Structure 1
Amino acid sequence: MSSPSATRPARRSPFAKPRAEDGPRARFSELIPYLFEHKRVLWFVIALSIVGSAASLAQPLLVSQVIGVVEQGASLGGLVWALIALVVISGIISGYQHYLLQRTGEGVVLSSRRRLVGRMLSLPISEFDTRRTGDLVSRVGSDTTLLRAVLTQGLVEAVGGTITFIGALIAMLIIDPVLLGLTSLVIAVSIVTVVLLSTRIRVASQRAQAKVGDLAASVERAISAVRTVRASNATQREVATIDADATGAWSMGIQVARISALVVPVAGIAMQVSFLVVLGVGGFRVASGAITIASLVAFILFLFMMIMPLGQAFGAISATNQALGALGRIQEIINLPLEDSADAEIAASVRAPGIASPDAPAVEFDDVVFAYPTGAEKAEAATDLETAASDLLDQREDAADGVGDQRAREPGEPVLRGVSFTAARGQRTALVGPSGAGKSTILGLIERFYDPEAGAIRFGGVDIRTMPRTTLRAQIGYVEQDAPVLAGSLRDNLLLASPDATDEDCIRVLHAVNLTEVLDRNPQGLDAAVGEDGIMLSGGERQRLAIARALLAAPPILLLDESTSSLDGVNEQKMRLAIDAVAEDRTLIVIAHRLSTVVDSDSIVVLDHGRVVGTGTHSELVASVPLYRDLAKHQLLV
């Protein structure tokens, strides 16, 4: 493994042109909708900024009058109290405005997270195949947080600052145009410098956020597979990998800091140079009688008032460009098409009857061809820990079967090649074959996680591409091979597909799948926590809980992918009895490596290298299909 230093990005000049691989960059117009969701508060804040600016601009004028009155030896009267009142009013307005901006900033973060999560969880499954989970989590957590800076670091305040700037500029022009000309020259140079640097901040910030996403993805991968990492003595290698990603994020953060460090001093330098110029030239003009001391003091105060909003504007430019870099990553996800975005077009192109026929098979595959997206295969190869664990499991299963699919599939090569079979209503259909034959892919196509490239899949004679996905999936109970369990309680997992089910219903299905002991061993009952990924349960218990979740929804079709692979002989028999009980009046499509669990199926479909090589009952296939006969022989079933 390479050292962390070897992974550090090469240093580039802050003024270098953006690279194509820096990723999508958002435009300011894409940020406006997030701000306009809170437009009432923002208009009120802008109004406060205007009032605050007016109070600030009045202060130098009062100071000038105070100096003039003192020079004349007259009574100050209410001038001092008026000046104090203006200072207090400015402070109160500034504090309340700061609170409103902070609250609105949190609102922007909340709305962006809601929009991003809602979009993310509705993306096609293929997008999750090609993206790293940790990076997606980083976009929800880290990237959305940067949007707050747009409001809290001066963008709205810059509106009031602009009024103050213009007002101070006009006042300074009236007091002494010569001093204003010299001051404006210094300020113009600072503005040009900030504009040149601002786009570099956006690019660097976006690349920094991408590195943070890589870091989050690496941490998520290592933590989710921590037992595999420990068992493989790979802890230090994973630590080194994460350290390399952390170093990359640190390097990009340093680059952002380096560019920002060029912006921050600009306002300070502009103020100092302007002050020195005004003090020197202004002193000379006072000595020559061109202006009075009171006018010079007022000019200096207006100068400070003009420089301060300029600093706010510089801060706003920096914060906005960082936010736009993060917004680019957010918009990349939001602009992706949803899972069902093309369904209407697909349905219109499919020639199929629109009404299900009771005489048609429950499920029918008609010459189906399918290949996973190339990017998905690359993404699977990148997650080496999970792939290695899966490969090890497949090898063990293949060894038990006596048959193995050792041929590597090329990227983009079809997984299914003209697959045709039917699953009759109310009957049990089993899919068997070596690992990699395409069995799990068939269930994924039935759920419409993907659509076939050719051929058709029909429910009751209706092409499933003409059915709304929600309607389709409401008819299907799906138990995946790895039996995922969500962090939370037993009840949370059971109610995932059946939110209106009662506690009695939950307890009934737990008894049906022989999970009574899980209820009995914890006094919290259905509220018992299952832990992250169901770690508080055994492998067999996780699998039975997933089956119970599917059974609770009572769908007419059940898809079971290796549903008994983690069960011992006793619990496997109990599970078979439970499945037999719920299989009445339901269509079951079952995948199993253990042929003993499917030998009594009404129909068995044998697959090899993505093709159907035989269909029939157990006895028929033993007599007619050599591959099935070999599988049965190695499992002592013939």
Structure 2
Amino acid sequence: MSMSERRGFLRRPKQDGGPTASVRELLPYLFPKKGLLAGALVLSVLGAVTSLVQPLLVQQIITAVQDSEPLRWLPWVLVILVLADAALGGFQHFLLQILGEHVVLRTRTQLVARLLHLPIAEFDQRRTGDLVSRVGSDTTLLRAVLTQGLVESVGGLLTFVGAIVAMLVIDPALFGLTLLVVVVAFAAVLVVMPMLTRATRQAQEQVGHLTSALERAISAVRTVRASNATDREVAVVGERSEAAFDAGVRVARISALVVPIAGIAVQVAFLVVIGVGGLRVATGDLSIAALVGFLMFLSYMIFPLGQMIGAVTAVSTALGALGRIQEIVRLAPEDAGDLAVDEAPTGDAVAFEGVSFRYPESVVRSRLEADGASADAADEDAPVESPTVLHDVSFTVAPGTRTAIVGPSGAGKSTLFALVERFYDPTDGRIVVSGRDVRSVERRALRAGIGYVEQDAPVLAGTIRDNLLLASPDATDERLLEVLGRVNLREVVDRSPEGLDAVVGERGVRLSGGERQRLAIARALLSAPAVLLLDESTSSLDGRNEAQLQGAIDEVAAGRTLLVIAHRLSTVVDADQIVVLDQGRVAATGTHAELLASSPLYRELAEHQLLVAQR
């Protein structure tokens, strides 16, 4: 495995565990359904009452037998209480399971809503698999807080207190010895809890890294296979699996301390009661019935104590997971600072006025880590220089005209479109659409008037219909078929018996590269935007399909503002204006003929792209 892989992707994150949440932050997640919670609490209290009455009945039965008195109704009442206790416990367990599912649903809904509204910069610096892990495994741990005894411990607390009172009444001296053992054990458990919380968060983060590694390999499985890199990717995921295993073992090791502590406390308490209690029975200071009752109350005290220890363990575990959830929930959504201007662009000019841009330091750091570079500096939180991508870019696109943007790879062409869409905001200068600075327009409204076809023309898993309706949910089937025909994609629908409901596969794998691009363009054309951004939109098309698509674009572009990143003759030569970018700066502007005569860079690009020859 290469050194860059080991320093970058395989580099284990720092094991500080990150910030954890507080119990106060946890409580709102646990009470989404107050009716179910109240019902579970009532059942827990009723169960505690039925449990506490049973030792008293047993004492009476033993006393009646010793005194040769008739038992009468006592055994039947005891049987009824045992059955009632079991029934209440079963129904309470059902309610807690339902309540736990509501906790997971509410948490996942809130987390997904925040995730999908985060600024693009957050996705550029975070791994997809880790975000998915927070929605999956981290939210599941919150359910364990309810299903593993937190609510049950409320009734258990009542049972615990009732048992203590009864034991204190039966024999104060014996109770004092028992309480000493229990207090020492419980104090030892509380010391372990912070360690468990930290270890749990670290384990969840390692699971997130594992999910990221697996998502990385699966999403590019064809490239991995074609590169004969399967074994290397298996090693990558394997190393992440080992890291998750090691973190899980740390959690198990710490959790294992709780079990023997509780077990020793129970054993010692029972031995003390049996030994000391037996002596007191022998001396006549305690009756057999009282000793049996004391032992039963001791079991009723120990069991809820175990519930409470389990609840503390579950809460500690959940706080580690909740810390990762809250890390995302606390992030401001993309539109947090948007002004309340909801008027979409009308098709007026698009202007770049002295625009400069550099990516946030966090994004640059994340990309360096992903590339395996500057890993040591990233570990030490050293400052990372963020290079300027665009330098004082200025040009204007007149309403209803077509502007082509050309330049060498890495010149900043796609970044221009990202700024128009407000995936990022300029570091300096401003971008004007319809006479207004885009930062003064609500993002939702701004994007409603802009059609954008990305360079890799992403297709979502699902059907053709799903992809087309993404931006135009109310479009009719007739309208969908019309747009597909205009981009020469109707044959894809006709060749499948499912028609518009034909499945395109994960990332559109069942479509060719050209079909994916045409589908993405059809999706943009469907909304008939005032401004249309096409980023290398015809790069995967053959001559015939490009000519047909170009006709469709020409038709839709009539009266609209069109910005195109492309190198092909049909797009560049006929543009009203061509902007040449070089290293983030505007090197030249003009028509095709003007630039051939005045710009050496454009002339070189044209020759390499065969623009002149095709002319």
TM range, normalised to the smaller chain?
Answer: over 0.9
CA contact (8 A) 1:8 1:251 kept: no
Kindly provide the amino acid, as one letter, of the partner of residue 361 in structure 2.
T
> Quick one: which of 253, 256, 265 aligns to 1:261?
256
> Quick one: which of 368, 374, 379 aligns to 2:366?
379
What residue number does 1:200 align with? Answer: 195
Measured in 2, the distance between the counterparts of 1:342 and 1:460 equals 21
Tell me if 1:130 matches 2:125: yes
What residue number does 2:50 align with? Answer: 55
Deviations 1:549-585 (CA, angstroms, capped at 9, x unpaired)? 0011111111000000011122111111111111111
Q: CA deviation at 1:23?
A: 1.0
Measured in 1, the distance between the counterparts of 2:488 and 2:366 equals 37
What residue number does 1:456 align with? Answer: 430
What residue number does 1:310 align with? Answer: 305
CA contact (8 A) 2:100 2:147 kept: yes
Q: CA deviation at 1:130?
A: 0.3
> Quick one: which of 173, 186, 191 aligns to 1:191?
186
CA 1:369–1:629: 2 relative to 1, 3 Å: same
What residue number does 1:402 align with? Answer: none
What residue number does 1:388 align with? Answer: none
Deviations 1:220-255 (CA, angstroms, capped at 9, x unpaired)? 001111111112211111110100000000011111
- SS of residue paired to 2:16: helix
What residue number does 1:581 align with? Answer: 555
Tell me if 1:249 matches 2:244: yes
What residue number does 2:226 align with? Answer: 231
What residue number does 1:87 align with? Answer: 82
CA contact (8 A) 1:45 1:97 kept: yes
Gaps of 5+ in 1: 11-18, 348-353, 386-409
Kindly provide the amino acid, as one letter, of the partner of residue 544 in structure 1.
R
With 375-384 and 561-570 compared, the bigger mean Cα shift is at 375-384
Measured in 2, the distance between the counterparts of 1:238 and 1:493 equals 31
CA 1:515–1:78: 2 relative to 1, 3 Å: same
Kindly provide the amino acid, as one letter, of the partner of residue 221 in structure 1.
R
Q: CA deviation at 1:356?
A: 9.7
Q: CA deviation at 1:156?
A: 0.4
Residue correspondence of structure 1 range 341-356 to structure 2 within 5 A? 341-344=336-339
Q: CA deviation at 1:634?
A: 2.4
CA contact (8 A) 1:366 1:419 kept: yes
What residue number does 2:525 align with? Answer: 551
What residue number does 2:464 align with? Answer: 490
- SS of residue paired to 1:74: coil
Measured in 1, the distance between the counterparts of 2:473 and 2:548 equals 27
Q: CA deviation at 1:268?
A: 2.1
Tell me if 1:276 matches 2:271: yes
Residue correspondence of structure 1 range 99-178 to structure 2 within 5 A? 99-178=94-173
CA contact (8 A) 2:193 2:313 kept: yes
What residue number does 1:43 align with? Answer: 38
Measured in 2, the distance between the counterparts of 1:247 and 1:481 equals 37
Measured in 1, the distance between the counterparts of 2:273 and 2:490 equals 85
CA contact (8 A) 2:65 2:71 kept: yes
CA contact (8 A) 1:9 1:251 kept: no
What residue number does 1:637 align with? Answer: 611
TM-score for the superposition, normalised by structure 1: 0.91
RMSD: 2.1
Measured in 2, the distance between the counterparts of 1:460 and 1:48 equals 63
- SS of residue paired to 1:415: strand
Kindly provide the amino acid, as one letter, of the partner of residue 546 in structure 2.
E
With 458-467 and 441-450 compared, the bigger mean Cα shift is at 458-467
CA 1:511–1:356: 2 relative to 1, 3 Å: closer
State how many pairs are aligned: 598
Q: CA deviation at 1:623?
A: 1.1
CA 1:238–1:20: 2 relative to 1, 3 Å: closer
CA contact (8 A) 2:181 2:269 kept: yes
CA 1:357–1:93: 2 relative to 1, 3 Å: closer
- SS of residue paired to 1:182: helix
Gaps of 5+ in 2: 373-383
CA 1:492–1:333: 2 relative to 1, 3 Å: same
Tell me if 1:368 matches 2:361: no
Deviations 1:180-209 (CA, angstroms, capped at 9, x unpaired)? 011011101110111011111111111000
- SS of residue paired to 2:333: coil
Measured in 2, the distance between the counterparts of 1:556 and 1:575 equals 19
- SS of residue paired to 1:22: coil
Q: CA deviation at 1:635?
A: 2.9
Residue correspondence of structure 1 range 3-18 to structure 2 within 5 A? none
- SS of residue paired to 2:298: helix
> Quick one: which of 334, 338, 358 aligns to 2:329?
334
